[in-house]
Amino acid sequence: IHDFQQIPTFISSTKVRELETEVEAEQRRGVDAVKGVRKYERRVKELTYQTEEDKKNVGRLQDLVDKLQLKVKSYKRHAEEAEEAANQHMS
């Protein structure tokens, strides 16, 4: 009779060890998942920062383009005026 009482205890402790192993594996997966989420959060922050910097650079470049276009218009106007003056002197 004594042997039968120990068998359920043995099965139970084996099952407990299996469950503990499963819990540990789940905890490891959870830790890995958290690490993965943090990694992607960092990447999103990096990309967000880079996007903001790119927008600033695009704004600066657009300002430069606008200024250069104004200069080109001014140079064209001066060139046309100089051409008109030269034509008047030739007449």
Residue by residue, DSSP assigns 17-76 as HHHHHHHHHHHHHHHHHHHHHHHHHHHHHHHHHHHHHHHHHHHHHHHHHHHHHHHHHHHH
Query: From CA 45, how far away is CA 48, in angstroms rounded?
Result: 5
pTM: 0.57
**pLDDT tens sequence across 41-86:** 999 999 999 999 999 999 999 999 999 999 999 999 999 999 999 8
**pLDDT tens sequence across 7-51:** 555 668 888 899 999 999 999 999 999 999 999 999 999 999 999
Query: From CA 19, how far away is CA 12, in angstroms rounded?
Result: 10
Enumerate long-range contacts of 77-85, CB under 8 Å, 24 or more apart: none
